[in-house]
């Protein structure tokens, strides 16, 4: 239905182009080009829906729908009767907000209509806007794109905004807000400034190297600036993709011998019956993945087949897949049956998998499940155990402790968005930082000053591209594709 509304509005907008009358308001408008409009709040029946416009005809659109009233005071809400500009038919009693540019989200003249969220009201207002000359429906991400074009947001801030809209966990929200605040962009700007200084020194030496007036040691200064930058960039790139994990989820893999309660744990953590649980060993055979919010961090939780040898070909394939998945894990949840620690399958799991993964320093939490089956004295004498947590999937005892431990581990794996330097959340960020670092490598190697200067320019260009300066259209298209219509 929403698509139909949209087509109607688009048609109304196209119709108005044929009639094309000039803007009647004599006041100078801020911004240029077409004026766009869209439903900016979520789709579907709701209490209040927000429709907004951006562009020079916003003022005219507001006047047309609220005639004969004056423009409301800038940036404060006013109650107005909206009616169709052609038929005069009342559409809704709504709050309207008038944001004259450049003090608006896009930097252009903008209007927000906060209307009642019924489909008929929304479609009526969209159609009315479509019939105002100079207005057309917005494309996906077009409001944000205009904000970027008018210097209201840098590219990393745009990405932060997209992430904020899509954020599903607390940690993602914090990270997105920091990026929206421009922290990563500011860091890149300060790095680019360092490079500009170094470049100025090298160029001065090229131009006036023979000149006695040139202060001593200009080249050495440039070298030490570059060296400092290399160290900083290196540290950022070595953050081991934490920011990307925070954006797209850490891989958390549940493993253990058959029947330890792996699937029970996956169901408990995801709060959904995603995996089949049964008393029969070998129930899970394929890798089962589910995105979850683990203690505020985004994770992709994988349930896997119980590890054992000498079973049928199907289960063996499951075991092979489980091992493969373990290699890609950011964090492993190793599960054992606490009441069955002396069994051959538990011992073999502890001796091989847990010991091996520990030696490879992969992050691992050992969970002893079914604690409800233990005698009241707790774990009896048994094998020497590495640090572990006791849990009962059945009674949920120990769940809080496990979530607390998961939170600590995931803060290491994903980076803690409340502290520390801004994280690189996208492959694009890494690409440009690596490009910058490579160019600085060339700078250090070459003995030719002209080539050294060029290397500094290339390095600086990578940093500028990262924040969207001189960005190519394709990059912009990819980034703005993440947005929905109305944003
Ligand atoms: N008493 C008790 N039983 C549990 C607990 N957790 C799981 N179980 C039972 O243990 C059995 C095996 O549980 P699953 O979750 O299927 O174990 P699994 O490790 O996924 O098993 P496979 O997929 O076959 O390797 C089921 O009968 C569960 O009900 C627990 O905390 N306490
Ligand atoms: K089972
Ligand atoms: Mg299972």
pLDDT, tens digit, 9 for 90 and up, residues 104-162: 999 999 999 999 988 889 999 999 999 999 999 888 888 998 998 898 888 888 888 88
Q: Which residues surround ligand 3, an ion (CB under 5 A)?
A: 262-263, 283-284
- What is the pLDDT, as a whole number, of residue 472? 56
pLDDT value at position 18?
Answer: 28
- pLDDT per position as a tens digit, 430-458: 888 999 999 999 999 998 999 999 999 99
Kindly give, in sequence order, each residue whose CB lies less than 8 Å from that of residue 30, ignoring residues fewer than 6 positions away: 56, 100, 101, 102, 107, 108, 109
Among 54-68, 72-86, 204-218, 384-398, name the one with the lowest average pLDDT.
204-218
d(CA 170, CA 172): 5
Q: Where are the alpha helices (DSSP H) in 181-252?
A: 183-208, 218-237, 242-248
For residues 82-100, average pLDDT: 94
Ligand 1 closest atom vs CA 373: 1
pLDDT value, residue 479 = 64
CB 372 near ligand 1, within 6 Å: yes
**DSSP designation for 416:** -
Mutation choice for ligand 1 from 255, 264, 398, CB with most ligand atoms inside 8 A? 264
Least trusted range by pLDDT, from 74-83, 89-98, 209-218: 209-218
Does the N-terminal peptide bond of residue 26 adopt cis geometry, omega within 30 degrees of 0?
A: no
421 φ, ψ to 5°? Answer: -70, 160
Token pair of 423, please?
């994280």
State the pLDDT confidence band at 24, using cuts at 50, 70 and 90: very low
Query: Do 151 and 119 contact (CB within 8 A), yes or no?
Result: no
Q: Which ligand places an atom closest to the C-alpha of 264?
A: 1
The H-assigned helical ranges of 302-426 are 313-327, 344-349, 355-359, 399-414
User: For 259-315, what is each residue's pLDDT tens digit?
Assistant: 999 999 999 999 999 999 999 999 999 999 999 989 888 899 999 999 988 788 888
Q: Which of 393, 395, 396 to mutate to test the pocket of ligand 1 (most atoms within 8 A of CB)?
A: 393
Closest ligand to residue 258's CA: 1
Q: Is 262 in the pocket of ligand 1 (CB under 6 A)?
A: yes
Q: How many whole angstroms separate alpha carbon 455 and alpha carbon 449?
A: 10
d(CA 228, CA 56): 47
| Rounded Cα distance, 106 and 31, in Å | 10
Q: 301 — phi, psi (to 5°)?
A: -90, 130
Q: Are 366 and 389 in contact (CB under 8 A)?
A: yes
19 torsion bin: left (phi>0), alpha (psi -120 to 50), beta (else): alpha
- Per-residue pLDDT for 79 more than 80? yes
**Residue 256 pLDDT > 90, yes or no?**
yes
Q: How far is the CA of 249 from the centre of ligand 2 (A)?
A: 27
CB 445 near ligand 1, within 6 Å: no
Q: Average pLDDT over the chain, rounded to whole?
A: 84
- Please give the average per-residue pLDDT across 244-268, as a whole number: 92
Any ligand 1 atom below 6 A from CB of 117: no
Local structure of residue 84 (DSSP, 8 states): -
CA-CA distance, 202 to 220, in Å (whole number)? Answer: 10
Using the predicted structure, report yes or no on whether residue 389 has a pLDDT greater than 50: yes
Beta bridge partners of 136: 36
pLDDT of 22 above 70 = no
Residues within 5 A (CB) of ion ligand 2: 259, 278, 283
Q: What pLDDT score was predicted for residue 312?
A: 87
Give the CA distances from residue 177 to residues 12, 161, 180, 182, 187, in Å, rounded to whole numbers and listed in that order. Answer: 38, 8, 5, 9, 16
Closest ligand 1 atom to the C-alpha of 395? 31
Question: Could you tell me if the CB of 13 is within 6 A of ligand 1?
Answer: no
Q: How many CB atoms lie within 10 A of CB 403?
A: 13
Cα 351 to ligand 3 centre (Å) = 21
Regarding the beta carbon of 340 and ligand 1, being less than 6 Å apart is answered no
3-state secondary structure of 87: coil
Q: In ligand 1, which atom is closest to the CA atom of 276?
A: 16
Query: Are the beta carbons of 393 and 273 closer than 8 angstroms?
Result: no
Question: Is the model's pLDDT at 204 over the cut of 50?
Answer: yes
* Cβ 393 under 6 angstroms from ligand 1: yes
SS3 79: strand
What pTM, to 2 d.p., does this model score?
0.66
Only one residue has tokens 């509005």, namely: 9
Q: Is residue 282 in contact with ligand 1, taking CB distance under 6 Å?
A: yes
201-205, 330-334, 380-384: least confident range: 380-384
Average pLDDT over residues 376-396: 85
Asked if 449 and 202 touch (Cβ cutoff 8 Å), the reply is yes
Strand order from edge to edge, sheet including 78-83: 78-83, 90-99, 110-116, 48-54, 35-39, 135-137
Q: Residue with the nearest Cα to atom 23 of ligand 1? A: 284
Highest mean pLDDT among 163-172, 386-395, 408-417: 386-395
The gap from C-alpha 67 to its chain's centroid, in whole angstroms, comes to 42
What are the b/e assignments for 283-302, b being 16+ CB within 10 Å?
bbbeebbbebbbbbbbbbbb
* Residue of minimum CA distance from atom 16 in ligand 1: 277
Map tokens 């829906």 to a residue.
Answer: 49
Whether ligand 1 lies within 6 angstroms of the CB of 356 is answered as no
Coil, strand or helix: which one is 391?
A: coil
User: Cis bond leading into 319, ω under 30°?
Assistant: no
**Any ligand 1 atom below 6 A from CB of 373:** yes
Distance CA 383, CA 327 (A): 26
> What residue owns the CA closest to ligand 1's atom 2?
370
Pick the more confident residue, 1 or 22.
Answer: 1
Q: Extract the tokens encoding 81.
A: 């009767």
Q: How many CA within 13 A on the CB side of residue 414? A: 31
Q: Quick one: which atom of ligand 1 is closest to the CA of 369?
A: 31
């Amino acid at each position: 239905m929403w698509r139909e509304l949209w087509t109607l509005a688009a048609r109304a907008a196209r119709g108005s182009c044929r009639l094309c009358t000039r803007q009647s308001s004599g006041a100078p408008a801020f911004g240029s080009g077409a004026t766009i409009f869209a439903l900016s709040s979520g789709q579907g029946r709701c209490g209040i829906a927000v429709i907004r416009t951006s562009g020079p005809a916003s003022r005219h659109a507001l006047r047309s729908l609220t005639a004969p009233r004056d423009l409301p005071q800038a940036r404060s809400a006013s109650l107005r009767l909206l009616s169709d500009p052609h038929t005069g038919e009342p559409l809704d009693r709504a709050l309207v907000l008038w944001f004259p540019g450049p003090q608006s989200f896009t930097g252009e003249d903008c209007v927000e209509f906060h209307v009642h969220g019924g489909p008929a009201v929304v479609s009526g207002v969209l159609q009315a806007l479509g019939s105002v000359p100079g207005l057309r429906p917005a494309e996906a991400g077009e409001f944000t794109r205009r904000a970027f074009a008018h210097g209201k947001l840098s590219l990393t801030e745009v990405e932060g905004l997209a992430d904020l809209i899509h954020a599903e966990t607390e940690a993602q929200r914090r990270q997105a807000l920091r990026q929206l605040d421009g922290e990563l962009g500011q860091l890149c700007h300060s790095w680019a400034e360092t490079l500009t200084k170094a470049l100025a020194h090298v160029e001065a030496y090229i131009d006036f190297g023979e000149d006695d007036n040139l202060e001593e040691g200009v080249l050495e200064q440039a070298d030490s600036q570059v060296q400092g930058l290399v160290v900083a960039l290196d540290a950022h790139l070595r953050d081991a993709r934490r920011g990307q994990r925070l954006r797209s989820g850490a891989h958390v893999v549940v493993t253990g011998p058959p029947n330890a309660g792996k699937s029970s744990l996956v169901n408990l953590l995801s709060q959904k019956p995603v995996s089949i649980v049964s008393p029969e060993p070998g129930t899970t055979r394929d890798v089962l993945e589910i995105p979850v919010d683990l203690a505020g961090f985004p994770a992709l939780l994988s349930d896997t087949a119980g590890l054992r040898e000498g079973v049928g070909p199907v289960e063996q394939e499951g075991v092979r897949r489980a091992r493969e998945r373990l290699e890609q894990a950011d964090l492993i949840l190793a599960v054992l049956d606490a009441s069955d620690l002396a069994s051959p399958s538990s011992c073999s799991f502890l001796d091989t998998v847990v010991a091996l993964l520990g030696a490879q320093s992969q992050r691992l939490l050992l969970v002893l499940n079914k604690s409800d089956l233990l005698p009241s004295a707790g774990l009896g004498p048994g094998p020497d155990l590495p640090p572990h947590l006791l849990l009962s999937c059945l009674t949920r005892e120990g769940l809080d402790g496990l979530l607390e431990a998961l939170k600590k581990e995931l803060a290491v794996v994903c980076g803690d968005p409340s502290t520390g330097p801004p994280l690189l959340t996208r492959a694009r960020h890494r690409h440009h930082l690596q490009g910058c670092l490579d160019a600085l490598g060339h700078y250090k190697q070459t003995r030719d000053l002209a080539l050294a200067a060029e290397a500094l320019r290339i390095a600086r260009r990578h940093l500028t591209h990262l924040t969207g300066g001189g960005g190519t259209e394709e990059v912009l298209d990819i980034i703005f594709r993440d947005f929905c219509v109305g944003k």
